Amino acid sequence: MWMEFTFEVILLTITGTFGLIGNLATIIFFTKSKKNKLRFHWLMITLAIYDTIYLAFCIIVFAVPGLSENYKKEGYHFYVVPKAIPIIQIALTGSVYCTMAISLERYLTVCRPFYITAQHWSVERYIVPIVIFSVVFNSSRFF
């Protein structure tokens, strides 16, 4: 019982809080950047948003019930979990595919610089399909 409390409540809350702070700092840093917004910047912002959603909902679903007895007694957990788990899955899927898009974009920038400059791809070609796929692929989890 103490190991469950230690890992699911204490460590998840501490590491999740550091992760939330780091992701929010990343979002602020890349949005306040004076340079032109590159595809890389927008992909990093999107990745940080997905990771922030994932961490926030993991803390709500797994750590908060161990911290608050009223949360479980009042039945909030019963209503939150069926809606939070699909959102966690959407954020996790988006995070994975956003990481793959960053890898692809970095590969093209470093190994094929002339191809990238000749193509004039907008960042929407990366982000919109990731968002749509993440939501559509995981939408059945809401039912």
For 69-112, how does the pLDDT look when each residue is reduced to its tens digit (9 = 90+)? Answer: 787 777 787 888 899 999 999 999 999 999 999 998 888 888 88
For residue 118, the model assigns a pLDDT of 66
For residue 71, the model assigns a pLDDT of 77
Q: Structure tokens of 39?
A: 């595809």
pTM score: 0.88
Provide DSSP, 76-137.
HHHHHHHHHHHHHHHHHHHHHHHHHHHHHHHHHHHH-HHHHHHH---THHHHHHHHHHHHHH
Give 38's pLDDT tier (boundaries 50, 70, 90).
Answer: confident
